[in-house]
Amino acid sequence: MRAVLIVNPQATSTTAAGRDVLAHALASELKLECVETRYRGHAADTARQAVIDGVDVIIAHGGDGTVNEVVNGMLADDLPRTDPVPSLAVVPGGSANVFAGALGLPRDPVEATHRLLRALAADRRRRIGLGKANGRWFTFNAGVGWDADVVAEVERLRSKGRHVTPALYARTALACYFRVCLRHPSLTVQADESAPISGLHTAFISNTNPWTYLGHRPVHANPETTFDTGLGVFALRSLNTYSVLRHVAQMLRSRAKPHGKSLFRRADVGHLHVGCEEPLRLQVDGDTLGEYSVIEFVSVPEALRVVV
């Protein structure tokens, strides 16, 4: 079985020694090529070429950003649709590893590698749905407004050498909140054929649940959303402190079902139109894509085959 291991050496939990151990274990069972990414987009380029070369499995070792790049390379629009398409496997190596966690994979890279080899031997694979935001594939979530501002600020801090931790995300979210809450609510969303909802401050779009993690604690924005359903939408009309804290408390419960007058929430959405009176940031899978005035979100069922 031919496989390509795509390693992001800059990922939070990735080390050269760890990479060598994982590569050695995988090479004992697979015909393996190992590629270390050297620039933004390198993971996507490598995955795209792997599809052209007809490999069986593409293994992403890094954080959620690496996984997102690999997926976008595997599903690039200009690739011919071959059958079978390579499967995706993930060995976590980032700080959050939300996608791997949503698949039920171990967070420890060595344990995840052993699980991967057993899954390949037993041919344990499944099809999952993905989302697209203005043509960009995402695996677990996207956001417009507040959370995209948080992601952009964390990326800026990381580029200055700050270590990414749940505490850093929490502090950054609080700092961004005090800026975002002063903005005019400029978002309008339309889920499928329903009436547009305007006067919204921020919107989170989920492709699975939980949406993200604070350390090992899951946050449930759209509990009904899975890899087998359409997208989930969580959008806030108000950012007053009481309302935000109430919804945060709801999302942290193990049997969460967020609700309230200031919340617009929908599940199993096939198409979502988001309009912004002024351009706002967009993030997908924890990476910022820039500012947009119009964003089209689409759910694509059974878009990807993953090794589990």
pLDDT for 16 equals 78
Q: Does a structural domain hold residue 128?
A: no
pLDDT-based confidence at 94, cuts 50/70/90? confident
Give yes or no for a contact between 289 and 282, defined as CB atoms under 8 angstroms apart: yes
Q: Which CATH number covers residue 180?
A: 2.60.200.40
Task: Choose one of 123, 147, 168: the last residue of a domain.
Answer: 123
Residue 261 lies in a domain: yes
Residue 131 inside a domain? The answer is: no
Nearest to 73 by CA among 14, 133, 137, 129: 137
Q: What is the pLDDT of residue 215?
A: 66
Task: Give pLDDT tens digits for 260-269.
Answer: 999 999 999 9
**Peptide bond preceding 185 in cis form (omega within 30 of 0):** no
**53 found inside a domain:** yes
Total structural domains within the chain? 2
Cβ proximity of 20 and 36 under 8 Å = no
pLDDT > 70? residue 115: yes
Strands 231-236 and 217-219: unpaired
The answer to whether residue 164 is domain-embedded is yes
Pairwise CA distance, residues 94 & 91, whole Å? 9
Of the pLDDT bands very low, low, confident and very high (cuts 50, 70, 90), residue 214 is low
Q: Look at residue 213 and tell me whether its pLDDT is greater than 70.
A: no
Say whether both 144 and 272 belong to one domain.
yes
Domain of 81: which CATH number? 3.40.50.10330
Question: 173 and 82 share a domain?
Answer: no
Residue owning tokens 């293994």: 59
**Chosen domain end from 123, 149, 174:** 123
| pLDDT reported for residue 19 | 84
Which pTM does this prediction carry? 0.93
The answer as to whether 308 is a domain residue is no
Q: What's the rounded Cα separation, in Å, for the pair 146 and 176?
A: 7
Do 59 and 185 belong to one domain? Answer: no
Inside any domain, residue 21 = yes
- DSSP characters over 74-101: HT-TTS---SSPPEEEEEE-SS--HHHH
Rounded-to-integer distance, Cα 65 and Cα 72, Å: 11
Same domain, 54 and 145: no
For residues 169 and 283, membership in a common domain is answered with: yes
**Is 95 part of any domain?**
yes
What are the tokens at 109? 């890279």
Domain check: are 161 and 90 in the same one?
Answer: no
Residue 217: CA count within 13 A, CB half-sphere: 11
First to last CA, the chain: 17
Same domain? 72 vs 197: no
Residues 196 and 160 in one domain: yes
Same domain for 108 and 252? Answer: no
Average pLDDT over residues 139-146: 95
Q: Which domain holds residue 270?
A: 138-302
Q: Please tell me the predicted confidence (pLDDT) of residue 114.
A: 94
What DSSP state is assigned to residue 193? T
Nearest to 63 by CA among 300, 287, 214: 287
Give me the mean pLDDT over the 37-61 stretch.
96
280 and 256 within one domain:
yes
Work out the average pLDDT over 128-143: 97
**Average pLDDT for the chain:** 92
Domain boundary among 123, 151, 186: 123
Asked if residue 135 has pLDDT above 90, the reply is yes
Rounded Cα distance between 76 and 51, Å, is 10
Do 119 and 194 lie in one domain? The reply is: no
Is the CB of residue 43 less than 8 Å from the CB of residue 7?
no
250 and 276 housed in the same domain:
yes
Q: What is the mean pLDDT of residues 191-214?
A: 91
Q: How confident is the model at residue 60 (pLDDT cuts 50, 70, 90)?
A: very high
